Copies of this chain bind each other. A is one copy, B any other.
Amino acid sequence: MPKLSIVKIGGAVIEDPVKLASFLADFATLDGHKILVHGGGKKASLWAEKLGIPVHIKDGRRVTDAATLELITGIYGGQVNKNIVAILQGMNCNALGLSGADGNALQAIKRPVKAIDYGFVGDISQVNTTLFSNLLEQNISPVCCAITHDGNGQLFNTNADTIAAEIGKAMAAHFTTVLYYCFELPGVMKDINDPASLIEYITEESYTDLLVNNVISAGMLPKLYNAFDALKGGVKEVGIGSSKMICNTTPYTSIKLK
């Protein structure tokens, strides 16, 4: 099967134009089919304040109301997405930006209301593998923002890590898929302050040991949950590390089932 790299970048890279350009230069030279998934960054909060859009927190969790959804659709789906696409085009990478609504790329259902109503937050129900495959076959690299839709006219805010994992699982039937989670640390660390404590390999077995021994910080758990979810769904390898890991110039945490 052909190879597919799915790379997710978060706020820290997006907010720094120099880091972003450097990362995109690496992404542009990555061999084979590739998909970029990006988060948002802090501009949404900055603009919300200036525009007088209140931040809604319920039980410690951020809620996406209509005004916030409109704001992040503009910032993530417009400003950040189109800026990334234009820069990649300038690097001879034929990028094409997508929200989940575009070409019905990513369909979701509103997160069910239990203890908390998260508002316009969607959990992915369907990945349009035909659309992604057709674009990749034309040597187009999809650039996905963290927005999905319900197929009935409603957009949703959706976690970018989860989007990357769901695309990976869905595409694994057609491609040998590797998923890279780039963030501000060198990878999964035993001690966040000690670069030498990077864990270079994690398997399902060693993951259980790490959990039992409380080695992994709470902040890493959702990323690792997504990683194993993707691996069990057919993704071959998940990398967690700095944005430099995609060009293999720096150590990172490589996660495989075995």
Contacts and interface: CB of A to CB of B under 8 A. Distances in A.
Contacts of A154: 86, 90
Interface residues of A, number: 42
Contact of A153 (B75, B87, B102, B104): B87
Identify whether the interface residues of A are mostly helix, strand, loop, or mixed. Answer: helix
Contact of A149 (B51, B89, B153): B89
A91 B101 CA distance: 12
Contacts of A47: 51
A138 B134 CA distance: 9
A81 B97 CA distance: 12
Contacts of A114: none
Contact of A101 (B73, B76, B86, B140): B86
A152 to B, nearest CB: 4
Contacts of A74: 74-75, 78-79
Interface in A66-97: 70, 73-79, 81-83, 85-87, 89-91, 94-97
**Best-buried of A51, A78, A89 by chain B (most CB within 10 Å):** A78
Contacts of A153: 86-87, 89-91
A149 B78 contact: no
Contacts of A97: 97, 99, 101-102
Given A50-B52, A90-B151, 7 more contacts: A50-B50, A77-B77, A77-B81, A78-B78, A82-B147, A86-B101, A86-B153
